[in-house]
Structure 1
């Protein structure tokens, strides 16, 4: 379980996140929603310790994450895998090598520097790519792929870290509708097939309602909504987003279509 207690972050005089308290159960798929500047990205970056909290505590399975330093912190960042909006791949390297970089934290420093991948690591990386129908692209340069394909490579890289938690920061923000569905289905498959907890920032309320089993709404750095997707009425959404509500309440495919297809994929993978 992930426990966030009184988490606060200041940038100078600006309060980006203020006294956030959350309990996230194992195997949950939680969407963090809110307008731009609400503190969503800062919250996820603090959980991964890419951003240091000003106050508060993060606990995962009874371990105080905010106290970690050195190698213990590097291992935590592998366990709490981050997926970014802009993929963070090395474009000139092939797809397989980009995925294998998710194994660096498990390797001795000499092997990490020389990238002397073991046969086991390569097999794990190819298996992760195969989960998302990407194994055939393993030899291609990462920058030759479409945006949706690159994000699936980034998800495969996160998966080979063997994480207990995946933190996805606006993973579909730069994707078209078709690739948005592919990427969200991939995250849902990981959640349902492997039981990995997913905490994802989303801009679209329709997607959040369709894929997530819980929504956390943020405004001005504070949690102002925490509940099931069906509890987030249009009236609550308008209060949360204000003038932006019309932009984020898109009309998309029905939730059962998206979810059933992703779960079918998970069943096939099993």
Structure 2
């Protein structure tokens, strides 16, 4: 279980995250929602330890993650794989090598620097690419791919880390509707097939309600909602998003997993 206790991150006098507390059971698909600047990205970066907490603790299976240093911290970052909005691929390297970067924590550094990857790691990376229909592009430079293809490569890279948790920070923010569905379906498949916990920052409330089994709502750095999507009322949603509510609650129906649709207020209906 992942437990967050009183987690706070301050930049000067401003609290980007303010006294956040929650627990997540293994295997959940949790959406972190809220308007831009609510603290969603900082929260995920603290869980991965890319951002240092000012106060509070992160516990995973009883281990104090906030106290980890050196090798143990590197291992934690492998177990809590990050997927970023801007993909964070090395554009001049081919797709397969970018995916293999997820295995760095498992091999001696000289091997990764010389790109002398063990056969087992090569097989794992190719298998991950095949799951996302990207194996045919393994030899292509990453900067020649579309945004949706790059994000699928980033997800494959996270998967080969063999993580317990995937932290996806606005993974579909720069994608068109078609690639948005492809990427969200990929994250859902990882969650259901491998039982990997997914914590995903999402700006779209409709998407969050469609894919997630639990929502954590943030406003001004504080958690103001934590519960099942069905319990998030329109009133609470408008409090979370304020002036952005009409935009994030969807003006037109969108495709959902399993062939349902979402109405303007995010309720599911059979297609």
TM over 0.5: yes
Q: CA deviation at 1:253?
A: 2.6
Partner of 1:216: 216
1:107 pairs with 2:107: yes
Partner of 1:266: none
Deviations along 1:137-189, one digit per CA (max 9) or x if unpaired, are 10111111110000000000000000000000000000000000000000000
Partner of 1:22: 22
Normalization by structure 1: what TM-score? 0.94
Normalization by structure 2: what TM-score? 0.94
Partner of 1:32: 32
Q: CA deviation at 1:111?
A: 1.4
More helix by share: 1
Other structure's SS at 1:255 match: coil
Aligned partners of 1:31 and 1:201 also within 8 Å: yes
Aligned partners of 2:185 and 2:257 also within 8 Å: no
Partner of 2:144: 144
Partner of 1:88: 88
Q: CA deviation at 1:205?
A: 0.4
Other structure's SS at 2:184 match: helix
Q: Give the 3 Å change call, closer, same or farther, for CA 62–258 of structure 1 in structure 2.
A: farther
Partner of 2:269: none
Other structure's SS at 1:215 match: strand
Q: Give the 3 Å change call, closer, same or farther, for CA 94–171 of structure 1 in structure 2.
A: same
Partner of 1:193: 193
After TM superposition, the structure 1 = structure 2 runs for residues 1-270 of structure 1, keeping only pairs within 5 Å, are: 1-250=1-250, 251-257=252-258
Structure 1 spans left out of the alignment, 5+ residues: 261-270
Aligned partners of 2:32 and 2:200 also within 8 Å: yes
Q: Give the 3 Å change call, closer, same or farther, for CA 258–64 of structure 1 in structure 2.
A: farther
**Corresponding residue pairs, total:** 260
Q: Give the 3 Å change call, closer, same or farther, for CA 105–259 of structure 1 in structure 2.
A: farther
Deviations along 1:111-130, one digit per CA (max 9) or x if unpaired, are 12222101000000000001
Q: Give the 3 Å change call, closer, same or farther, for CA 256–153 of structure 1 in structure 2.
A: closer
Q: Give the superposed CA RMSD.
A: 1.3
Q: Give the 3 Å change call, closer, same or farther, for CA 256–107 of structure 1 in structure 2.
A: closer
1:157 and 1:61 map into 2 onto residues whose CA distance is 24
Other structure's SS at 2:258 match: helix
Other structure's SS at 1:20 match: strand
